[in-house]
C-alpha cells in the first residue's frame, strides 16, 4: 500500500487493512506516516494546548484508569467547580506561555443544569481572550451541546478510550453507544471533535486497530485525535498494568496519522515518562499536537520551558493561530518563558 493512496480521506477501513499497517516494518510505517503527514501539515509545526481541571474528583464513572473516579481511593482531593474568574485567569496565563487552545475538563458523568450557566460563561470568557476553546464534561444531551456551540465552544473532547470489544472490561457505567451519540450531537451542533484513546490497559493489537477504525470510519474524522499512554495511578485497578512498548506506541501514532491524514494527532497523557528521543520519534510519526504546562488533569506533564528547549533542538515551531504571524507568536512565547511561574492548576489528561 503506497503512501500516496493513503493520503486521501477514507471512512471504510477494515481490520485486515489496519493490522497490515501495524505489522509492517517499522521504518516503512514511519516513512508512510511522514509522507502522509507532509501532504497535509507543516512537518515542523506542533499545535500547543493547555488543559485545566475545572472540577476535580468524585466522578461517578468507574473508568479503571482514572484517579478521578469516586469508585477508587487514590488520595485525590475532591474539588468543586472552579469560579469563572479563576478559570479565565488560568486561560490568560496559558495564552502568555504560548498555548493557542485552552481545554477545560470536569469530572462529571454529565453536566448538571445548575452548573451549565457557569460552564457557558467560561467558554465565552476564554473565547474573548482570543484562544480556541475545548471542553470535556462527560455525556451531553442535544440541548447542552447546542448551548455550548452557541457560547462559542470550538472543540469537544470525548474519548472512545478503546475498542468496542474491550470497552466493557474498562468501563461499565457508560456505554460505547452513549459516547458515539455524544460525538454525533457535537458534530450536528457544528463543533469540532477531539476524540482518541488510551494504550496500556491490557488491550490487544486488534483492540488498538479497532479503536482507530471507529474514529477513522466516522462520517467526518475528528479534528483532534489524542493518543494517551496509560499513567498508572496507585489505587486504580490498572495501577500494575504492563508497560506499553515504546515502539508499539509510536506505531499507534503512525497508523492514526495514516488513517486520519488531516487530523491533529495529539501526543497526550504519559508524555512525562517519555524521553526526548521518543518524543522526537513521535513527531516524526505524525504527532503534531501536545498539551503544554505543569499538569494535565491530575498527572504530571513536561514543563513548558522543557518543551520549548526540545522544540528548539528539533527545529519545531508552535503552530500559530491564523490571526497571528509566527514571529509574533514566538516572541510572545519567549517573553512569557522569562516571566513564567509554576502553576498547580495545569494537569495531564488521560480522560
Nearest C-alpha neighbor of 233 from the set 87, 26, 74: 74
**317-333 exposure pattern, b = at least 16 Cβ within 10 A, e = fewer:** bbbbeeeeeeeebbebb
10 is in an annotated binding site: no
| Dist. CA 198–CA 183, nearest whole Å | 18
| Dist. CA 137–CA 149, nearest whole Å | 14
174 is in an annotated binding site: no
Annotation marks residue 271 as catalytic: no
Place of cell 478510550: 161
Q: In Å, what is the CA distance from 303 to each residue of 79, 212, 287, 325, 347?
A: 24, 29, 19, 24, 11
Annotation marks residue 38 as catalytic: no
Q: Which member of 101, 134, 139, 271 is catalytic?
A: 134
Q: Which member of 139, 174, 179, 194 is catalytic?
A: 194
| Dist. CA 164–CA 212, nearest whole Å | 11
Q: Which member of 59, 93, 174, 251 is catalytic?
A: 59
Place of cell 494546548: 49
Max CA distance (Å), the chain: 53
Nearest C-alpha neighbor of 62 from the set 175, 173, 160: 173
134 is in an annotated binding site: yes
Ramachandran category for residue 235: left, alpha or beta (phi over 0 → left; psi -120 to 50 → alpha): left
194 is in an annotated binding site: yes
Q: Which member of 66, 174, 251, 257 is catalytic?
A: 66
Annotation marks residue 93 as catalytic: no
| Dist. CA 107–CA 89, nearest whole Å | 21
Annotation marks residue 208 as catalytic: no
| Dist. CA 337–CA 249, nearest whole Å | 30
| Dist. CA 133–CA 151, nearest whole Å | 10
Q: Which member of 103, 139, 208, 251 is catalytic?
A: 103
Q: Which member of 93, 139, 257, 266 is catalytic?
A: 266
Annotation marks residue 134 as catalytic: yes
Q: Please say whether the beta carbons of 70 and 18 come within 8 A.
A: no
Ramachandran category for residue 292: left, alpha or beta (phi over 0 → left; psi -120 to 50 → alpha): beta
Q: Which member of 63, 139, 251, 271 is catalytic?
A: 63
The annotated binding site for [4Fe-4S] cluster is made up of 59, 63, 66
Catalytic annotation, residues: 59, 63, 66, 103, 134, 194, 266
The annotated binding site for [2Fe-2S] cluster is made up of 103, 134, 194, 266
The annotated binding site is made up of 59, 63, 66, 103, 134, 194, 266
Amino acid at each position: 500500500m503506497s503512501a500516496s493512496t493513503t493520503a486521501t480521506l477514507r471512512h471504510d477501513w477494515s481490520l485486515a487493512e489496519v493490522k497490515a499497517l501495524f505489522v509492517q516494518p517499522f521504518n516503512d510505517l514511519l516513512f508512510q506516516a511522514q509522507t502522509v503527514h507532509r501532504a497535509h501539515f507543516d512537518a515542523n509545526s506542533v499545535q500547543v494546548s493547555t488543559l485545566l481541571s475545572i472540577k476535580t474528583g468524585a466522578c461517578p464513572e468507574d473508568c479503571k484508569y482514572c484517579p478521578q473516579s469516586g469508585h477508587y481511593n487514590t488520595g485525590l482531593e475532591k474539588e468543586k467547580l472552579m469560579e469563572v474568574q479563576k478559570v479565565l485567569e488560568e486561560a490568560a496565563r496559558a495564552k502568555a506561555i504560548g498555548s493557542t487552545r485552552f481545554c477545560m475538563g470536569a469530572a462529571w458523568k454529565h453536566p448538571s443544569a445548575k452548573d451549565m450557566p457557569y460552564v457557558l460563561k467560561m467558554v465565552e470568557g476564554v473565547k474573548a481572550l482570543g484562544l480556541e476553546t475545548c471542553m470535556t464534561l462527560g455525556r451531553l444531551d442535544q440541548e447542552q451541546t447546542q448551548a455550548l456551540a452557541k457560547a462559542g465552544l470550538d472543540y469537544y473532547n470525548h474519548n472512545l478510550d478503546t475498542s468496542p470489544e474491550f470497552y466493557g472490561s474498562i468501563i461499565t457505567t457508560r456505554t460505547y453507544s452513549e459516547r458515539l451519540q455524544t460525538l454525533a450531537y457535537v458534530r450536528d451542533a457544528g463543533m469540532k471533535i477531539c476524540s482518541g484513546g488510551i494504550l496500556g490497559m491490557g488491550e490487544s493489537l486488534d483492540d488498538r486497530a479497532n479503536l482507530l477504525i471507529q474514529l477513522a470510519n466516522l462520517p467526518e474524522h475528528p479534528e483532534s485525535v489524542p493518543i494517551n499512554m496509560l499513567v498508572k495511578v496507585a489505587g486504580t485497578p490498572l495501577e500494575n498494568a504492563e508497560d506499553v512498548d515504546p515502539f508499539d506506541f509510536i506505531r499507534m501514532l503512525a497508523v492514526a496519522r495514516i488513517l486520519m491524514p488531516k487530523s491533529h494527532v495529539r501526543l497526550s497523557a504519559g508524555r512525562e515518562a517519555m524521553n526526548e528521543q521518543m518524543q522526537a520519534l513521535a513527531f516524526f510519526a505524525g504527532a503534531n499536537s501536545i498539551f503544554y504546562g505543569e499538569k494535565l488533569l491530575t498527572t504530571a506533564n513536561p514543563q513548558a520551558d522543557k518543551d520549548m528547549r526540545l522544540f528548539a533542538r528539533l527545529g519545531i515551531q508552535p503552530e500559530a493561530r491564523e490571526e497571528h504571524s509566527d514571529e509574533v507568536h514566538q516572541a510572545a512565547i519567549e517573553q512569557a518563558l522569562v516571566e513564567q511561574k509554576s502553576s498547580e492548576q495545569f494537569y495531564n489528561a488521560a480522560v
